[in-house]
Amino acid sequence: MGDPKGIGPEVVRKALKDHVIARSEATKQSFIVIGDKKKLGRLPASVQVMDVPYKSAGEGALKFLDKAIDLIKSGAADALVTAPLSKEAVSRYHKDFKGHTEYLARAFNVKNFDMMFIAPHMRLTIVTRHVPLKDVPRLITQKTVFNSIALMAKTLKDKFKIKDPKIAVLGLNPHAGEGGLLGLEDVKHILPAISKARAQGINVKGPLPADTFFAFKSPYDGVIAMYHDQGLTPLKGLYMKELVNFTAGLPFVRTSPAHGTAYDIVGKNKADPSSMLAAIKLACQLA
């Protein structure tokens, strides 16, 4: 359910409408919602609700997630859809919390994982996640870029059934560094990672200038961006309502809507469930 004080309960309730449940029953899919039964409100009768007690919003959001992890590990659930939470609120309860993605990877002892964003005409991964912008250049190494390329290729083949995926890699610096004139990371780290991936048979091109990439229809099956806002600012501008966050590398399917807790509209019946519905549909499809 995500943050009890956010729009998670509302978008979950709106997304799990009777026609969605009817389609799921035809394909023998079922839903379990973990959270605060009172805040969730009325859900279709076929939806199982697990009511988890909590004292603060941050504690609740993490306890709901822990319960979901237990269900996945026990085999009681095949896929996980997470509503948005507040990292700040959870960090007051669990000081090392950085986000759903990192927490889930640690819980399942996964070392190579990525945030992959799925839109109707694009799949995008970011090499660095929720880190300060000043730390990004030192985190762009041949190893981290190569790992993202390799994981993207594997995920597109295994999960999305694309036999020979075409992957684009964006540069870090303006104009992909202009051959080193505008920064050396593209030449020293990104290009060698691309060369290594090509040597292993991956169909990959780059580094490409990020400022023009999103202005045209992409011929690529996957895109690798170097940092959070480089990839997500244009992607959310183009596909916000349909965008889904998918965690690549986990041993199960995990998706989430691409928006946050939206505290400013809680209780006003204004929350748009489109991204949550897209996340639920993708989880059902991939699981």
Q: Are residues 277 and 181 in the same domain?
A: no
Where in 108-163 does DSSP place strands (E)? 114-119, 122-126
Token pair of 34 as six digits: 């973990």
Q: Are residues 277 and 226 in the same domain?
A: no
Query: What is the per-residue pLDDT for 244?
Result: 97
CB atoms < 10 A from the CB of 23, how many? Answer: 12
Strands 253-257 and 244-248: antiparallel
184, 207 contact by CB (below 8 A): no
Query: What is the per-residue pLDDT for 23?
Result: 67
Q: What is the largest CA-CA distance in the chain?
A: 62
Q: Are residues 226 and 281 in the same domain?
A: no
Q: Are residues 88 and 183 in the same domain?
A: no
Question: Over the stretch 134-156, which tens digit does the pLDDT of each residue have?
Answer: 999 999 999 999 999 999 999 99
Q: Are residues 159 and 264 in the same domain?
A: no
Q: Are residues 244 and 263 in the same domain?
A: no
Query: What is the per-residue pLDDT for 28?
Result: 73
Where in 120-178 does DSSP place strands (E)? 122-126, 166-170
- Spell out the SS3 assignment of 79-92: EEECCCCCHHHHHH
Q: Are residues 134 and 183 in the same domain?
A: yes
The percent helix, strand, coil of the chain (3-state, each to 5) is 45, 15, 35
Q: Are residues 208 and 184 in the same domain?
A: yes
Per residue of the chain (287 residues), what is the pLDDT tens digit?
Answer: 999 999 999 999 999 986 666 566 556 788 999 999 999 999 988 899 999 999 999 999 999 999 999 999 999 999 999 999 999 999 999 888 889 999 999 999 999 999 999 998 899 999 999 899 999 999 999 999 999 999 999 999 999 999 999 999 999 999 998 988 999 999 999 999 999 999 999 999 999 999 999 988 889 999 999 999 999 999 999 998 999 999 999 999 999 999 999 999 999 999 999 999 999 999 999 99
Query: What is the per-residue pLDDT for 8?
Result: 97
Q: Are residues 83 and 138 in the same domain?
A: no
Bond from prior residue into 207 cis (ω within 30 degrees of 0): yes
Question: Over the stretch 35-70, which tens digit does the pLDDT of each residue have?
Answer: 999 999 999 888 999 999 999 999 999 999 999 999
Domain membership of residue 128 as a residue range: 112-249
Gap between the Cα atoms of 100 and 105, Å rounded: 9
Tell me, what CATH number does 101's domain have?
A: 3.40.718.10
Rg of the chain, C-alpha, whole Å: 19
Token pair of 80 as six digits: 């996980």
- Number of compact structural domains in the chain: 2
Q: Are residues 3 and 127 in the same domain?
A: no
Query: What is the per-residue pLDDT for 150?
Result: 98
Query: What is the per-residue pLDDT for 46?
Result: 87
Gap between the Cα atoms of 155 and 149, Å rounded: 10
Gap between the Cα atoms of 261 and 149, Å rounded: 30
Q: Are residues 47 and 175 in the same domain?
A: no
Q: Are residues 148 and 185 in the same domain?
A: yes
